[in-house]
Structure 1
Amino acid sequence: MRVSGVLRLLAFIFALVATWIFTRTYVSFSWNTVRLPRWLSSTHRETRAVQAKCSISKPCPNNFFAFKICSGAANVVGPSMCFEDHTIMSPVKNNVGRGLNIALVNGSTGTVLRHSSFDMYSGDVKELVKFLKEIPEGTLVLVASYDDPGTKMTDEARKLFSDLGSSHAKNLGFRDSWVFLGARNLKSKSPFEQFLKNNPDTNKYEGWPELLELEGCVPQKII
């Protein structure tokens, strides 16, 4: 056999050996070594924490609506209202104003019916009274103060808020902080209300008390 033939034979044998080694090292495997991604593996499945609507402290049970109401901070940062994960009013939406900010929500469906703000320092309180008198039956009423909610408040307006379940509307005055959720013709006082009097000795901001946050779960009205 010629030398060239021997060399070709040795090269062929070497290639076979090299292929066998490569296969053993990089290709051959056992299914026991296969690991599925964690998101596909049932043994590593992680339960994702359920985030409560409106970022309240805990989720609401069935047949309850989640809400969060924040009053304004002095005359700098406006109030905000969230209902069932929907922001109704906020400075970002640019639909809040000085005085009282009010949103009406259908108590059965959770649908936002209307929202508006009323200037209680230099505005006409008659507009607020008209708005409150026209609230339909079965309606939830969300209220947040901003800057000054009480200067133009009248006995008639206070009575209308009291009829919605408020315990503090009768005391609302100049630059007080107030957040409230009530309902038309509520037969008892609402548990959803916070009030802070404007007091120079205790105010957090110069001339204004601190902002208030109110959150919770309100029962759905079953028709």
Structure 2
Amino acid sequence: MVVGILLGVPGSGFPRIQQFFNNSESSVTAEPWARKYKCSLPQPCPEEHLAFRMVSRAANVFEPKICLEDRMLMSSVKDNVCSVKDNMGPGLNIALVNGVSLEFIETGASDMWAGDVNDLLKFIQPLHEGTLVFVASCNDPVTKMNEETRKLFSELNSRNAKETAFHENWVFVGV
């Protein structure tokens, strides 16, 4: 039995070993594994570009994630995003990164349903010039958002900050 498994006897479930012993004309070429790049992107980023991936929460299917240069900044695994399990409620997940050195600065999650929008403003307003701001929503990004908050996100180059509505998914990177 063990010899059959090691040598790839037909029906043993080890077709790769069987292919090794077969001649090249009769062997079946297996599909190569899909190569993953930084932040699990399907292709590499061009040189002098940053690789990042952001996911907003969609229903109870996807949890928010923010990845930069293959470093997970925020995720449910790191337990630093708003999610159903922590009962924090819907809102915004924000990661701050130094735009020159790419050093991680800080993350914050803001409950935009039952939280205080002033806490979000206190987190965002003291930004230094050149700070990268990554934002991924968690179910409802706007219930507590006021005109001052929308203006601030617009100044960070969000095109949709003023139009984003209740229960919409929203991600953006600003400087």
TM-score by length of 2: 0.73
Higher helix share: 1
Aligned match of 1:144 in 136, 145, 148?
Answer: 136
What does the per-residue CA deviation read over 1:118-159, in whole Å, with 9 as the maximum and x for residues that have no partner? 000010000111211111111111000012111001000000
Q: Residue in 2 aligned with 1:115?
A: 107
Moved more, 71-80 or 121-130: 71-80
Q: Residue in 1 aligned with 2:79?
A: 94
Structure 1 residue matching 2:92: 3-state secondary structure: strand
Distance change (3 Å), C-alpha of 1:50 and 1:111: farther
1:79 aligns with 2:79: no
Q: Which has the bigger relative contact order, CA under 8 A and spacing at least 6?
A: 1
**Larger-Rg structure:** 1
* CA–CA separation in structure 2 for the residues paired with 1:124 and 1:82: 26
* CA–CA separation in structure 1 for the residues paired with 2:60 and 2:117: 20
Structure 2 residue matching 1:110: 3-state secondary structure: coil
Per-residue deviation at 1:62? 2.8
Q: Residue in 1 aligned with 2:126?
A: 134
Percent identity over the alignment? 51
* CA–CA separation in structure 2 for the residues paired with 1:131 and 1:122: 17
Q: Residue in 2 aligned with 1:163?
A: 155
Structure 1 residue matching 2:51: 3-state secondary structure: strand
* CA–CA separation in structure 1 for the residues paired with 2:110 and 2:60: 15
Q: Is the 8 A contact 1:77 1:91 kept in 2?
A: no
1:182-197 matches, within 5 Å, as: 182-183=174-175
Per-residue deviation at 1:172? 1.9
Letter in 2 for 1:150: V
* CA–CA separation in structure 2 for the residues paired with 1:152 and 1:81: 22
Give the paired residue count. 136
Q: Residue in 2 aligned with 1:56?
A: 41
Structure 1 residue matching 2:50: 3-state secondary structure: strand
Q: Which runs of 5+ in 2 are unaligned?
A: 1-33, 83-89
> Considering only aligned residues, what root-mean-square deviation do their CA atoms show, in Å?
1.8
